[in-house]
Amino acid sequence: MAKFSQGGRQAGGSVQRDESSTKKFFNQLPNLLRTDGGEGGDGKGRFLIISSRRSRIVFPVASVVAALLLGAVFIALSGHDPVAAYASLFMEAFGSVNGITDTLVKAAPLLLAGVGLVVAYKSSIWTIGAEGQILFGALAAVWLGLNLKGVPGALLIPTIMVASFLAGAGLAMVAGVLKAKIGVNEIITTLMLNNIASYFILYLVSGPMKTPEVGYNQTRIITSEAFLPILVQNTRLHAGVLLAILAAIFVYILVEKTSLGYKIKAVGHSPKAARYAGISMSRNILIVMFLSGGLAGLAGMGEVLGVHHLLMLDISPGYGYTAILVALLARLNPIATIASAFLFAGLLNGSVAMQRGAGVPSSLVLIIQALVVIFVLASEYATREKR
């Protein structure tokens, strides 16, 4: 039974509401979250309302196009041919079967980490810790893959998936507990945890877990029983890509079709209104951090079991940070995150070809990514209005 907060107390003390009154509140919650505060409001509320569903598609696409056009200006200013540069990029990323499959392979960790961030951001929990959680998920996958030899793949792979999910979730829960219990800013803690995870992995791959067979800082290759199945012969396309797509669908159903998802969004829209409804802020923080970290951990698992089959420091070339851009471009829509991840993966996959084919520094792709985010944020402002 939920109790009113201090603002909802009556003179006789705290009031307990039954299930029917709680349902009545949730039916009225969309009206409470309106910018004008509901009927009779003065229009000075702090919440902004999306003005058009169509704009949710048009403006992100326009943002990408604008970013590419402005990126072409930077390429031209650097003394290179923008047409040749973009032709090399898109042909490498999308112009062949191998190019498309490699792009899909890179999209998988971006998608898993991205939909995890969508869950957190929907609840206004601004974690940036996916990078460290990916590393911890990869560490769990490698440790089990090296030590559980002789176990059939049908049992070993699901076991590793669970372990990697829990490893990523466990790291995220450190920040979640600090946020829920004593109000520590999650941006700071997750950023620090990224550094801790990175240096911990560096210690392991250069020390206790380093293979003596090569001079690089990496572990031995895991047992072949743990390799993810290849979906297209003679390519690197592995079953982790399907897992990422299923995860996006799962997150969509969770956020849009369940009571838990409704609570997550309610907290994100108005913590005060959600608290009035009896939603536990601490519990909500722990749930979204657990899910977000676990999905990022699965991204690390996919990189180990599907691509590298070992652990090294740069097993994630910034996937956790790029996933933030993926979630923002998708405007926190789990299904749109699939397309967003594919786009950013294409930029990553084609950047080397752009440098090789047109002489353009691959770092310009980072500028294009940043421009995409800037235009997305600008379009977000343009498509919102106060009522």
Q: Which domain range does residue 65 map to?
A: 50-78+361-387
pLDDT in tens, the chain (387 residues): 444 344 444 434 443 444 454 444 444 444 443 434 444 444 443 433 344 556 667 777 888 888 889 889 988 888 888 888 888 888 988 989 999 999 999 999 999 999 999 999 999 999 999 999 999 999 999 999 999 988 999 999 999 999 999 999 999 999 999 999 999 999 999 999 999 999 999 999 999 999 988 878 999 999 999 999 999 998 999 999 999 999 999 999 999 999 999 999 999 988 888 888 889 999 999 999 999 999 999 999 999 999 999 999 889 999 999 999 999 888 899 999 999 999 999 988 888 788 787 778 877 878 887 888 788 777 766 665 444
pLDDT of residue 65: 87
> Do residues 251 and 376 share a domain?
no
Q: Rounded to an integer, what distance in angstroms lies between the CA atom of residue 226 and that of residue 248?
A: 23
Residue 37 lies in a domain: no
> Do residues 309 and 374 share a domain?
no
Residues near 241 by beta carbon (within 8 Å), at least 6 away in sequence: 104, 105, 107, 108, 231
> Do residues 195 and 172 share a domain?
yes
| C-beta of residue 109 within 8 angstroms of C-beta of residue 134 | yes
> Do residues 59 and 188 share a domain?
no
The DSSP output letter for 230 is B
Residues near 52 by beta carbon (within 8 Å), at least 6 away in sequence: 383
> Do residues 370 and 243 share a domain?
no
Residue 302 lies in a domain: yes
pLDDT of residue 353: 82
pLDDT of residue 53: 59
> Do residues 373 and 354 share a domain?
no
pLDDT of residue 55: 64
Residue 141 lies in a domain: yes
Question: How many structural domains are present in the chain?
Answer: 2
pLDDT of residue 8: 43
> Do residues 270 and 370 share a domain?
no
Q: Please list the residues that pair with 322 across neighbouring strands.
A: none
> Do residues 184 and 133 share a domain?
yes
11 residue type, one letter? A
Q: What angle do CA 351, 357, 358 make, to 5 degrees?
A: 85
Q: What is the C-alpha end-to-end distance of the chain, expressed in Å? A: 35
pLDDT of residue 372: 80
pLDDT of residue 47: 38
Q: Rounded to an integer, what distance in angstroms lies between the CA atom of residue 377 and that of residue 350?
A: 25
Residue 21 lies in a domain: no
> Do residues 269 and 384 share a domain?
no
Residues near 300 by beta carbon (within 8 Å), at least 6 away in sequence: 109, 133, 134, 135, 136, 137, 138, 139, 140, 141, 164, 167, 168, 315, 316
